[in-house]
Structures are given as C-alpha cells and as structure tokens.
Amino acid sequence: MATSPPPSSRRGTSGVPGSLPAMAPSVAERLLERLGQAAAPGGLCSLEAAAQLGVDHQTLVGAVKSLQALGEVIEAEARTATRWELSAEGEEVLRDGSPEVRLFRSLPEEGLPQAEAMKLPGGSLGFSKAMANKWVRLDKGAAGGPRVLRAVPSVQDAVQEQLGQVRAGGALPERERSELKRRKLLLEVTLKSFWIRKGSAFSTAVARAESELTPDMIATGSWRRLPFKPYNFCALGLPPACGHLHPLLKVRSELRQIFLEMGFTEMPTDNFVESSFWNFDALFQPQQHPARDQHDTFFLLDPGEAPQLPPGYSSKVKKVHSQGGYGSQGYRYEWKVEEAKKNLLRTHTTSASARALFQLARQEKFSPVKYFSIDRVFRNESLDATHLAEFHQVEGLVADRGLTLGHLMGILRQFFTKLGISQLRFKPAYNPYTEPSMEVFSYHEGLKKWVEVGNSGVFRPELLLPMGLPENVSVIAWGLSLERPTMIKYGINNIRELVGHRVNLQMVYDSPMCRLDV
C-alpha cells in the first residue's frame, strides 16, 4: 500500500485533481501491474501500454495523471512524435483508386465528349492529372465538340500503391510524400505520449489519497493513519478576471503623461456640442469658409442655436471680421450673429482652447500658461481605412510674452522626442487662425518616407486681442490625432478595426503594453 511522505518532506504539485475519475482506478491498477512486469528496463510507452491493455490512449493518459497526483508512485516524461496518416480523401483513393485512374478506366474505347467525361467517377478531379500523365488526350476537332480519348492501353495506379505502403507502416521518399500531402491525401499527425517509469514510492496497489481534512477525521484521530494528497501552498492561483485597456486608451494615457511631465495643465473639454461662434468665429475663421458647410460639419436641429454669446467679446469679433482692426483689414463681409449662434458638433478641440484663452484674458493680471487637451471631435467625413466621422484630437498650447516660431519648433522637438519621434521636418502651411503655420513631418522607418504627424502655428492677433490679452502676449499651439499614432504603434491598418462596432475584443485582450518607440 503506497503512503504519502510526511508533511515536512512532501513535494508540492500544482494542478492536483480532487479525486480520480470514475474508471481511472482500475486502469491505473492495470497500468501499475503492467509496469511492474515490463520487460523494458527503462519503462513503458503509453501508446504501447494502451494497446496492450485494450483502452483508449486518452483514458490511459488520465490514469497516468491521476497516479502522478499520488506522489512518487510513477514518473512520466512527455514525448512528442510525428507520423503520416491517410486523410478521408486518402482512404477513398486507397479503396477505389485515384481520380485519374478511375477516369481512365471509365472511358470507353471510342471516348466521350468532354462535358460527359467530367461527369464520370473521378472526372472533375482526375482530368488534369490524367492529361499531365499523358494517359488521355483531348481531340478538339471532333464532331460535336472536344472529345476525351484514351492515349495509352493501360495504366498503373501508383498513388493507390503509395497510400497502401503508408498504411502498412512503410516510408515514402520525400518527393512522393510531399506530392500526396499537396493533394491532401496524407496528413502529418503529431502524437503526444508519455514514457512511464517506476517512481521512488512505486507500488502495484493504488491508495486513494484524501483531499480534505474533515471534522470526523479530527474527532476520531483517523487523519493520522490516512494518506493525504500533497499540496503546493506556494502555487499561484488563477488570475482573476478583469478588464483590459483599449490600445487607444493606452496611447492616450501615455500622451497625457508626457504633457504633465512638461508642466502642462489639462483644459476642460466637456463641450461636445458647441456654437459656431466658439468653433469658428472666435478663431477668426470667416463665416463663408468651406469648413462651415454641411458637407464638412454636423449642425444640430434641436437645439439649433446657442441661447446667447458673450456680449462685449462677440461685438469685438464682429468688428475684426467685418471691418478689421489690430493691424488687420479683416475679411470685409457682413458678419451675422445668426450664423455665429448655429449649434454644431465641434470639429476640433481648438474651440476649447479659445474658451480657455478667453478666461485667461479675464484675469486681472496675466500669467503664462501651458494647456493641453485630448478629446473627441466630429467631422462629416467619408469613412475609409484612415478616416472616421468621430475621432480624437490632441492639442497643446503655450501662452507667454515674447514667444516666437523658434520657441514653437523647440517645444515641438521636445514633445515628439518624448513620443519616440526624433526625425522632424517643418513645412509652411496655412490655417485661418495661425500665422505663421507649420505642418510637422517625421520619417517613418516602416513606410520609408516622411509622413505628416501634426499641425502647428502661432495664434493670430485677430484671435487674441479681441479677447483682451496683452499685445505682447503670443500663443503657440500644435495638434495631432490620437488614432493614427495608435494604428502605427499597434500595426493596425484599418481605423475601423480600432474604433467602432467592428473592433475585435480579443485584440483588446491580446494587445501588448504601449511602447512609444517608433
């Protein structure tokens, strides 16, 4: 009778089952008996043992694992081997012959029209192979259309013979085996087995070890005489089920951390619905600008208009648009308050920047600030692999006295270096509310070309001075999207696989930790 080692010398095992399967004890005992009688000094193969005991191999594997749970009764070493087996199509060919031979034998001496020959046994599958072997020929000039005729008096079915050789346990040359595999007649099967040896506590009798210490055992003292299953108290349990961060949220967190490390303060961005005044007019964007068309912007029907605009500030915005001022001649058109009151889904988070700068201008004494925001914006875009109607915009701005284009380029290099993007180029661009303006490009090693990664500029005086900011205060700003850097970092080619109803939740689970090292 096998016994457990004392508690101080037990070896911990992980994955110990609570009890043996219903039929496992009898199989286990027969396996132990067979192992004790084994002629091989090193042990016994589980495949051979299953065949000798007349049981399914998986049933014997279950008995092996149950015996392993008892301690050192047996030792089992996992082994892997491959062998070739006939597929279902291979079994059919072994029984009835290959398709090309079946077609040849079904053809009469006078042949058949090609359409009828394709309906013969093996016709559709064996015709091309029979033609390649030059067993049949196609008479395209025959009356009534192309006719399939025998080209040789007899054929030998080598494919059927090769499959019979595999069934008998013989080996085939690599070329023949590859051809049969290509025709899906052979399958390479991986066999997993165990090499079983006697353990230090080997016995031909199986004692069921107790898995629980019950009150009755303690009361009667029987626990002292009973064998208990060994437990590994240092084993880790199953990880608890928990949520997983979406790749977009991971990159957003990294960007937010970069801004905070650079001393920026996050702006409030809770105005998804915005008035045209803050989204366009306050940014010195004219009311006839193409971006204000319904083909580019989502306008709201209810509520269709904002209740009111800042009275003193809106009049200054009207004047600089229609008449000019602050050294500018404006746009020289009739500015309409009705157009400015139209509600829309904001097209950029720069509207939040305008609100933040307006609040800064209302302070009694100006103090330099650094603001950032990361939030959703909405545009009436045509959906494709790189564009959505709803996406995220990342924006940063610095307001201080004496800022120049050189300061903007310096802070952009610092920001993108923290993102892992060190090769930068700047290209002059046009924005209605920045002058000068620059597009930011970076060299993409994967694409082997320069790609745009952001836009930037210095806010115009026509935007800042109506707010009431001092004349010597400059504001430098830049922005980029959140989705495109995420797609690059995680190797996602279609933005609709990152955001929206087509997102594969398994992708969220499997995505690695974000590394900003592109």
Which residues have a Cβ under 8 Å from the Cβ of 178 and sit 6 or more positions away? Answer: none
How many Å apart are CA 239 and CA 207, to the nearest integer? 33
Q: pLDDT tens-digit profile of 412-426?
A: 999 888 877 788 899
Q: pLDDT tens-digit profile of 277-330?
A: 999 999 998 888 887 776 678 898 889 888 888 888 999 999 999 988 888 888
Amino acid at 399: A
Question: Mean pLDDT in runs of 10 for the chain (518 residues)?
Answer: 38 38 61 76 83 88 83 84 87 90 88 87 85 89 86 90 88 88 88 86 73 90 84 80 82 91 92 91 87 79 88 90 87 88 91 92 91 91 72 92 91 86 87 90 76 88 91 91 80 77 78 54
How many Å apart are CA 25 and CA 157, to the nearest integer? 50
pTM for this model (two decimals): 0.54
**HSE-up of residue 192 (Cα within 13 Å, Cβ side):** 3
For residue 310, cis peptide bond before it (omega within 30 degrees of 0): no
Cross-sheet strand order for the sheet of 265-266: 265-266, 369-378, 390-401, 473-481, 449-459, 434-444, 424-431
User: Could you tell me how many helices (H) and strands (E) the chain has, helices first?
Assistant: 19, 15
Which residues have a Cβ under 8 Å from the Cβ of 194 and sit 6 or more positions away? Answer: 45, 46, 61, 64, 76, 77, 78, 79
β strands within 100-163, DSSP E: 112-113, 136-139, 147-150
For the record, the structure tokens of 99 come out as 């398709």
